[in-house]
Amino acid sequence: MPLPTIARIESRRLALRPVNAGDLPDLIAVNGDPEVTQFLPYATWQSPQDGEAWLARMEALGATGTGRQLVVVRRSDSRAIGTLLLFRHDEGSARVELGYALGRAHWRQGIMREAIEAACSHAFEALGIRRIEAEVNPDNVASCTLLTRVGFVLEGALRKRWVAKGAAYDTNVYGCLVDEWLAGRAAG
Ligand SMILES: CC(C)(COP(=O)(O)OP(=O)(O)OC[C@H]1O[C@@H](n2cnc3c(N)ncnc32)[C@H](O)[C@@H]1OP(=O)(O)O)[C@@H](O)C(=O)NCCC(=O)NCCS
């Protein structure tokens, strides 16, 4: 069974919903910024065509049933301010990987923490996922801190795991299990 389509997830300030072509003008403000894309596997968007090519890749991923590309929408004005990806879904192990990016104007306001908490709640409680994992370059302090704050556990470091943008880099592996997530929620 493919990873189910996610119609909409709401939190206090945000909504997560599937990306569509109408989001691309907003997303250029996110992915057209080299500070945002520094640790991402794709190049900074230079043109609308880069956004269209990215959307085509995300639609192809969705068609495989192993990934769902969502946008992080600000509920106050319905603008897309970031992206959140669930991918590498493994049905047999009920496992999925998480990726995300937020426009720089919105950093350090608890936005991505709110988005990830909403996405994890949905994945664990509605989709039956039992493990969510994330791979992060250890130099990406913001992302490493964010995951720890949300409740992910640093499980290990893989040396020179990926090559991107001409350089090999180490990768921290973070994991979050459904039981510890539910226990954390119950403890408040
Ligand atoms: C990583 C990223 C999504 C963080 O989003 P954000 O909305 O600014 O994060 P939040 O405000 O929710 O912060 C969550 C926690 O991380 C901490 N944090 C966020 N940015 C930080 C930074 N630059 N340095 C240290 N800590 C940071 C916050 O202080 C907060 O901790 P707290 O709850 O103790 O206050 C954002 O910096 C980003 O989009 N970066 C570029 C894309 C990217 O690298 N994506 C991840 C690829 S693995």
What is the whole-number distance in angstroms between the Cα of residue 107 and the centre of ligand 1? Answer: 7
Mutate to test the pocket of ligand 1, among 35, 38, 113 (most ligand atoms within 8 A of CB): 113
**Prediction pTM value:** 0.98
Of all protein residues, the one whose alpha carbon is nearest to atom 26 of ligand 1 is 142
Average pLDDT, the chain: 97
Q: Are 96 and 128 in contact (CB under 8 A)?
A: no
Closest atom of ligand 1 to CA, residue 146: 16
Distance 92 CA to ligand 1 centre (A): 31
- What fold characterizes domain 9-187? Aminopeptidase (3.40.630)
User: Which position has the token pair 């894309």?
Assistant: 37
pLDDT at 188 (0 to 100): 80
* Closest atom of ligand 1 to CA, residue 137: 48
Q: How many other β-carbons are positioned within 10 Å of the β-carbon of residue 184?
A: 12
CA 142 to ligand 1 center in whole angstroms: 4
Q: For a pLDDT cut of 90, what percent of the chain falls above it? A: 97
Task: Please give the pLDDT value at position 8.
Answer: 98
**C-beta of residue 86 within 8 angstroms of C-beta of residue 68:** yes
What is the C-alpha separation between 95 and 131, in angstroms, rounded? 5
Calculate how far, in angstroms, residue 148's C-alpha sits from the geometric centre of ligand 1. Answer: 10
Ligand 1, residues at Cβ distance < 6 Å: 36, 39-40, 100-102, 107-113, 136, 140-143, 145-146, 149
Q: Token pair of 160, please?
A: 């020179």
For ligand 1, atom 15, name the residue with the nearest CA: 146
pLDDT averaged per 10 residues, the chain (length 188): 95 98 98 98 97 98 97 98 98 98 98 98 97 98 98 98 94 98 90
Residue 85: its pLDDT value, please? 98
**Which segments of the chain does DSSP mark as H helices, in order?**
24-31, 34-37, 48-64, 111-125, 141-150, 178-187
Name the residue ranges covered by the structural domains of the chain: 9-187
Return the pLDDT at 1: 85
